[in-house]
Structure 1
């Protein structure tokens, strides 16, 4: 692996470690995150890890571009993958049902599975949180079993309910608040991701893992979940 540095702005540098998305990348990404935070010290404004890159935003009043580049290059010398990502494993309870997950039968049919088998397969993997984006608290996770990979909807919905759990290609995610969206919705969780994000403490962070757990409607509603059906068509 040979890191590549790319100018992102007058006070930001993108560190590109990989060209393709892979769960194994995150051990390297998180090792780079730790090394860069230590190297940049008080000059660091923000550091954003993602699928294959890290964005280093620094204070150009304290560090010139040339010096920032040198500090980054030095920090990445002899970089080794982290033995442990030190991320948190989150168990997210999900009510899988066609009323709140209209694409549940579609994704099952495409995969050649019964709906119950699809749910079991979706819950069988600990998904890596690759990046945060789109909306506060929204974590892009993967990689979904190839058999479950499903293209985005041709026409996005104007309103996807908060807590909706969906699949797009080989990624899965949870909508933290009501918003437009084109992912295939399988169910809904009552975990208030947006509330965590509002406090500046997002529940999901890059390097974390998420394990989905199927629950009943009664359990979902007892946890404060909104069981209002989601429209079937966008």
Structure 2
């Protein structure tokens, strides 16, 4: 782990992998009382940003002495999301995986994903956990409009588009789950640290 001061009241912690980021984020949440009034803890692909730090250098020195345990697989709340596997890229994803389209729901459903970080659009969580043999390329030509609720895969990540927007990920299904609701606490259904299971919708 490496620490870098960002401005006068922020601290950026860098890690070597998404797994290390997840473990560090969980430890920071557990020990938040030791962080001296930090307002926000924001994980990303390889970093965690602490905002509202009174003394970034002093806090960096304290955190450097922590023993951060590996993240337990059962740590974090679990959300189950029903999906209809009706995406326009389902057949292409099945071809890239070397299986029939009917096998895709079982492959996706066998994975317990974890929200690593959020970005791109409010409520869009980047979900890790997909085995390397199932990593996928982005589409050669992005779509100008991806429907809200689309379950998508690209690289090592899965995600669900919370609203219609451009996108280049492979679309395999749709869900009616509300990913972003400003009137809910938290507003994002897929908050960092949440575990996610996708199950095939009844009657699909």
Q: Write out per-residue CA displacement over residues 82-137 of structure 1, whole angstroms, 9 at most, x where no aligned residue.
A: 6657411111100001xxx1110001001110111122101101001100111111
Does the 8 Å contact 1:14/1:53 carry over to 2?
yes
Distance 2:35 2:18 in 1: 26
Counterpart selection for 1:106 from 79, 84, 92 = 92
Asked if 1:40 corresponds to 2:64, the answer is no
Q: CA deviation at 1:25?
A: 4.9
1:25/1:55 Cα in 2 relative to 1: closer, same or farther (>3 Å)? closer
Instruction: Indicate the SS of the match to 1:19.
Output: coil
Q: CA deviation at 1:205?
A: 1.6
Counterpart selection for 1:194 from 173, 180, 192 = 180
1:183 maps to which residue?
169
Distance 2:200 2:43 in 1: 30
Asked if 1:73 corresponds to 2:61, the answer is yes
2:22 maps to which residue?
26
Q: CA deviation at 1:146?
A: 2.6
Counterpart selection for 2:122 from 115, 136, 143 = 136
Asked if 1:92 corresponds to 2:81, the answer is yes
Does the 8 Å contact 2:89/2:171 carry over to 1?
yes
Gaps of 5+ in 2: none
2:139 maps to which residue?
153
1:47/1:58 Cα in 2 relative to 1: closer, same or farther (>3 Å)? same
Q: CA deviation at 1:169?
A: 1.0
Distance 1:83 1:130 in 2: 12
Structure label with greater radius of gyration: 1
Gaps of 5+ in 1: 220-234
1:133/1:83 Cα in 2 relative to 1: closer, same or farther (>3 Å)? closer
Q: Normalised by the size of structure 2, how large is the TM-score?
A: 0.89
Distance 2:200 2:41 in 1: 34
Q: CA deviation at 1:48?
A: 0.7
Q: How many pairs does the alignment contain?
A: 202
